[in-house]
Every structure is written in structure tokens, then in C-alpha cells.
């Protein structure tokens, strides 16, 4: 029974001893002891019960074991009603995204002093839109003016509680001009009930990429590729997948591994040259023509102490990611890739938020171009890659007038960016917050050749392939997810003020 120190002295302590020894005799601790423990805290209303069982109610689709996975108590445990783990359990269950409400309560057990932990859940729709990206990809004319030509769209959806098992099955599709990508993903957050997550994915990508700085000449085996006269076009497909595992080292640190295997089929121009700087040179496509295999081992360590992932106001997010292209495991590409990033957020006394983020990456060896660092991933003024597609043909804007315009893919990349956010709205309904943000940064992307043999026609600091990037817009945090409405995509369509782009 829940007892209080003043009322029960030695007799209660003896009762506990009896209960403990009877507990030890019972196989699997299924039978609760007769009495519960009394402590000095009892006088302050701290009650303890022996758990008779755990009852899950209201779950129509989700199987009981998925709910029980998140409950750190077992029948036979002595439950202190003041244990903060009970409240954390509620949020842990809400954090799965499977339930719209979770209520935890106790009811009397079979004997005095025993209780049953009751978990009442209300299930919610678990088919979610994970990511939507859309925008306009652009070309540019000979004077460097932007010419919007094609829209692009990427959508990822997932069922996060497949057949009530807690397993995620996701699918994604990306569409751009003459390109498309399909992706499927499977994740079991507690593989065979363990502390390890199991992940796997498959993808098929049929894409094109555009090479050449200016005055491009090429001969393609495909007639349709010759229609694009300003670029040497590589048409390629990728089909493969990954299999991996993840483990939470702590609430803020997570480690992930995976092995990736894919077949790459590339149609590469037979001959191609362009003018790099002032010198005509052959184009290096960084991909093997015909069929090749990419076999990689990937690992990531992620440290995340942000208070919230979409509109953080404090904390840090750091990651180290490594990729090994393994020729002994059949890869046609042997390379090593290392990336590191660290971002910090601070809330200022006047409640605005400032953040600082740094990223560095390096590749040694012969990585295919789609594994290299792409300028669009570093400047906000060009679209990022979506599901492996690169919808934009443009060279990066050249605000500083450097040889950054001579780079599309690089072996080295770095970025330092600061962002300032002003909360405009804080709500408790379906929209949790709207922040105005503005950011600016400095980034650089370079190949090894940019250091060893820089493009001709650039002198002094202009030989450093770096440039400025900036962005502004709104970030909206809602019940269904976070949205960014950024104007950088529109800014990117404006001609660059300085430096020749083409």
C-alpha cells in the first residue's frame, strides 16, 4: 500500500523486506508484492506503488509492443508517482508522431499497494508529407541575364507507422526538365526490439548534368543532347540502395552507418572542350562512361542540442560525416570524403535569434561528380540538389568577381554563414511561430586544379574561388511541419552585378 512515514515505521519496512523476497521467488516478477515501500518522502505525499501491469488503451492500429517500447517501466517495478520519467514517457510517445494525445494514469491493482499504469492514446494520421521543394531552374543568355526556363518539384511522403508496427516506409519523387528521381526508404527505429535502428533505401535517378564554362564544343553520341548547344550534357542513370543502422549514444548524440551500392550508367560526350579562364581545355566530366559501380561505406556522428529543429533559439548542431568509395568492394570509384559542420544558435536579450554556421568538406581520390561538392548547395542563390537531381544549369553568381564562376563541382568546399531571425508571431494553434530571417555568408568551392593550375585571366584575390551568398524570407513552424519561404531563388534570377558569368 502507499504508506506514509509517520504512520508506518518498522512494520512497513519489514513488509517491504517480505515483499522483496517474495518478488525474488516469483518467476519473471509477474506477481506484485503485497506492500509498497514507504520512505521519508511519503510524508510529503510521495506515493509508491508496485506495478501490477501496464495497460494500453485506445490504440486501433498501433500494436501494444510499439507503445510499450517507449515505457521505461515493467510489471514488478516499484513506481514512484513523482518520477519525472512518467511525464517524459508521455512526451516520448507523442514524439513518435503516432498519437495526437497521450494520457497516463494509475488505477488500483489486484492487491493493496499495487497499481496498474494505464496509457490512453488517440491515434493520428501517420501518412505525412516530409518535404516539398519547388522552384524555378534557370538558364542564362550570353549577356548573363537570367532566363527562367523550367520549374522543378520534389516531394517526399512517408507512412511512419506502417501497419501499426512503428516502422517508417517513405517514398520520394523529384521531377525537373528531362530528369526524374524515385526514392524509397524503410526505417525500423527499434530493430528486433533493440536499441538500434535499421534503415534501408532504394533509388532510381535518370538525370542530366551540364558541363562547360563558356564556348563549349562537344560531340555527343545522342542527337537529342546536341540540341543543348551551350553545355556539354552528361546523361546518366543511377540505380541502387543503402542498408544501415543507427544508434543513440545519448539524447544529443547519434551515430549512423550505412553501406551503399549502386549501378551508374552514363552517356558522356565523346569529345568536349570549353574555355576555362582564357584557355581552351578539355572538359573533365568526373564520371566513367558506360556502366560503372559505386560501392561506399558511410558513417556520421551527429551532435544536436538545439531546443527545436526548425526554429531553434539556442543550442548547437554539429556533424562529422565520412564516405569511403571502396574499390576492393567492387566500386569503380575509389575516394574518401569527409565533411564537418557546426552551427550555434543564441537568443538575444531582445528575443531575436542569431546563428553562426560553419561547414568544411574535402574529397581525395576519384569521386563521381554527383558525390562532389556542388556550388548550388553552398550558395542560396541557386537551387539545392533535390533527391539527387540538379535542376539548374547556371553558374553561381559572382558578387566578388572571383573565379568561382569557373567552378560547378569541387573537391573542397567551405562556408561560413550568419543568420538573424526576428520572431513575428508566436502561437499555440496550428501555427506555432513565424520568423523573418535574413542571412549572409561567404563560401568557396574548388577543385584541386583551382589550386595547382588556376584558370587564366584571374589575378591576386580573384584566384580564390569564393563568393558571397545571402538570403531573406520567412520561416513558418506549423502543426504539420516547417516551411521556409525564401526569396533567394528569385534573387538568383537577377543578373550578377559584377564579374562575367558567361
Partner 1 sequence: MAMALGLLAPTVASAQSAEALSKKKLSRRKAKLATHRGWVTMTVSYRDVVNPAIRRKLLSGLPTVIASRTYVFPDKGKQPVALGVKTCRIVFDLWDEVFRIDLQQGGRGRQTVAVNVEGVLRRCAEARRQPIVAKRSLKPQQRYFMGVAVEVNPLSPQMMDRIKRWVSRPKGAGTVGPGDSLFGSFVGLFITHVPDADRAISFRTQPFVPAVLPVIPTKKGDRRASR
Task: State the minimum distance, in angstroms, from the CB of residue 284 to partner 1.
Answer: 23
Read off the DSSP letter of residue 447.
-
For residues 3 and 22, what is the distance between their CA atoms, to the nearest angstrom? 19
Task: State the minimum distance, in angstroms, from the CB of residue 107 to partner 1.
Answer: 7
Task: State the minimum distance, in angstroms, from the CB of residue 260 to partner 1.
Answer: 9
Task: State the minimum distance, in angstroms, from the CB of residue 453 to partner 1.
Answer: 30
Task: State the minimum distance, in angstroms, from the CB of residue 131 to partner 1.
Answer: 4
Nearer to partner 1, 219 or 307 (CB): 307
Three-class secondary structure of residue 399 per DSSP: coil
Chain CA centroid to CA 437, Å: 21
Task: State the minimum distance, in angstroms, from the CB of residue 250 to partner 1.
Answer: 10
For residues 12 and 4, what is the distance between their CA atoms, to the nearest angstrom? 9
Nearer to partner 1, 49 or 409 (CB): 49
Handedness of CA 330, 331, 332, 333 (dihedral sign): negative
Cα Rg, the chain, nearest whole Å: 29
SS3 labels along 323-345: EEECHHHCCCCCEEEEEEEEEEE
Which pairing describes strands 146-162 and 167-176: parallel, antiparallel, or unpaired? antiparallel
Task: State the minimum distance, in angstroms, from the CB of residue 295 to partner 1.
Answer: 15
Nearer to partner 1, 93 or 462 (CB): 93
Q: In Å, how far are 69, 103, 313 from 349, measured between CA atoms?
A: 41, 36, 12
Place of cell 524555378: 136
Nearest Cα to Cα of residue 230 among 241, 218, 221, 239:
218
Read off the DSSP letter of residue 386.
B
DSSP-assigned letters across all residues of 255-287: EEEEEEEEEEEEE--SEEEEEETTEEEE----S
Nearer to partner 1, 31 or 371 (CB): 371
Nearer to partner 1, 27 or 430 (CB): 430
Long-range Cβ contact pairs of 12-19 (< 8 A, separation 24 or more): 12/37, 12/38, 13/38, 19/50
Nearer to partner 1, 23 or 256 (CB): 256
Nearer to partner 1, 115 or 353 (CB): 115
Nearer to partner 1, 90 or 463 (CB): 90
Residue 389, strand partner residues: 386
For residues 278 and 102, what is the distance between their CA atoms, to the nearest angstrom? 67
Nearer to partner 1, 254 or 463 (CB): 254
For residues 308 and 311, what is the distance between their CA atoms, to the nearest angstrom? 6
Residue 488 host element (H or E)? helix 488-491
Read off the DSSP letter of residue 389.
B
Q: In Å, how far are 89, 165, 246, 392 from 197, measured between CA atoms?
A: 19, 13, 5, 35
Nearer to partner 1, 186 or 491 (CB): 186
Nearer to partner 1, 187 or 268 (CB): 187
Task: State the minimum distance, in angstroms, from the CB of residue 58 to partner 1.
Answer: 14
Which pairing describes strands 146-162 and 466-478: parallel, antiparallel, or unpaired? unpaired
Task: State the minimum distance, in angstroms, from the CB of residue 347 to partner 1.
Answer: 12
Read off the DSSP letter of residue 138.
E
Task: State the minimum distance, in angstroms, from the CB of residue 294 to partner 1.
Answer: 13
Task: State the minimum distance, in angstroms, from the CB of residue 91 to partner 1.
Answer: 4
Amino acid at each position: 500500500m502507499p504508506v506514509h512515514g509517520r504512520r508506518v515505521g518498522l512494520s512497513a519496512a519489514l513488509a517491504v523486506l517480505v515483499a522483496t523476497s517474495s518478488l525474488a521467488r516469483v518467476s519473471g516478477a509477474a506477481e506484485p508484492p503485497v506492500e509498497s515501500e514507504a520512505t521519508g518522502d511519503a510524508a510529503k505525499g510521495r506515493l509508491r506503488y508496485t506495478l501490477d501491469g501496464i495497460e494500453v488503451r485506445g490504440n486501433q492500429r498501433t500494436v501494444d509492443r510499439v507503445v510499450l517500447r517507449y515505457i521505461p517501466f515493467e510489471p514488478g517495478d516499484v513506481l514512484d508517482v513523482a518520477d519525472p520519467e512518467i511525464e517524459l514517457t508521455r512526451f516520448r510517445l507523442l514524439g513518435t508522431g503516432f498519437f495526437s494525445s497521450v494520457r497516463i494514469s494509475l488505477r488500483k491493482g489486484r492487491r493493496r499497494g499495487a497499481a496498474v499504469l494505464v496509457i490512453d492514446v488517440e491515434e493520428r494520421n501517420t501518412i505525412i508529407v516530409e518535404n516539398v521543394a519547388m522552384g524555378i531552374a534557370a538558364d542564362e543568355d550570353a549577356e548573363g541575364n537570367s532566363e527562367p526556363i523550367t520549374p522543378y518539384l520534389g516531394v517526399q511522403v512517408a507512412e511512419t507507422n506502417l501497419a501499426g508496427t512503428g516502422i517508417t516506409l517513405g517514398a520520394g519523387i523529384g521531377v525537373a526538365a528531362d530528369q526524374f528521381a524515385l526514392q524509397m526508404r524503410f526505417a525500423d527505429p527499434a530493430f528486433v526490439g533493440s536499441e538500434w535502428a535499421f534503415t534501408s533505401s532504394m533509388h532510381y535517378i535518370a538525370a542530366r548534368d551540364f558541363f562547360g564554362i563558356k564556348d563549349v564544343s562537344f560531340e555527343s553520341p545522342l542527337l537529342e543532347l546536341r540540341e543543348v548547344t551551350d553545355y556539354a550534357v552528361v546523361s546518366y542513370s543511377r540505380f541502387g540502395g543503402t542498408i544501415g543502422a543507427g544508434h543513440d549514444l545519448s539524447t544529443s548524440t547519434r551515430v549512423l552507418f550505412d553501406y551503399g551500392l549502386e549501378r551508374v550508367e552514363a552517356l558522356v560526350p565523346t569529345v568536349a572542350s570549353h574555355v576555362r579562364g582564357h584557355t581552351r581545355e578539355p572538359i573533365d566530366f568526373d564520371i566513367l562512361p558506360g556502366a560503372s559501380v559505386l560501392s561506399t561505406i558511410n558513417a556520421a556522428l551527429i551532435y544536436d542540442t538545439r531546443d527545436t529543429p526548425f526554429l531553434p533559439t539556442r543550442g548547437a548542431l554539429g556533424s562529422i560525416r565520412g564516405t569511403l568509395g571502396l574499390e576492393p568492394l567492387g566500386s569503380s570509384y575509389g575516394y574518401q570524403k569527409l565533411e564537418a559542420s557546426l552551427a550555434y544558435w543564441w537568443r538575444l536579450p531582445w528575443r531575436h535569434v542569431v546563428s553562426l554556421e560553419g561547414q568544411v568538406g574535402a574529397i581525395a581520390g576519384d569521386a563521381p561528380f554527383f558525390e562532389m561538392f556542388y556550388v548550388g548547395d553552398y550558395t542560396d542563390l541557386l537551387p539545392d540538389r533535390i533527391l539527387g537531381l540538379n535542376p539548374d544549369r547556371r553558374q553561381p553568381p559572382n558578387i566578388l568577381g572571383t573565379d568561382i564562376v569557373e567552378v560547378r563541382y569541387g573537391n573542397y568546399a567551405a562556408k561560413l554563414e550568419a543568420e538573424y531571425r526576428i520572431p513575428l508571431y508566436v502561437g499555440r494553434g496550428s501555427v506555432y511561430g513565424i520568423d523573418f530571417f535574413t542571412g549572409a555568408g561567404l563560401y568557396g568551392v574548388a577543385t584541386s586544379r583551382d589550386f595547382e593550375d588556376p584558370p587564366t585571366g584571374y589575378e591576386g584575390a580573384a584566384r580564390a574561388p569564393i563568393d558571397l551568398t545571402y538570403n531573406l524570407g520567412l520561416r513558418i513552424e506549423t502543426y504539420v511541419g516547417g516551411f521556409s519561404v525564401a526569396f533567394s531563388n528569385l534573387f538568383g534570377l537577377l543578373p550578377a552585378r559584377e564579374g562575367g558569368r558567361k
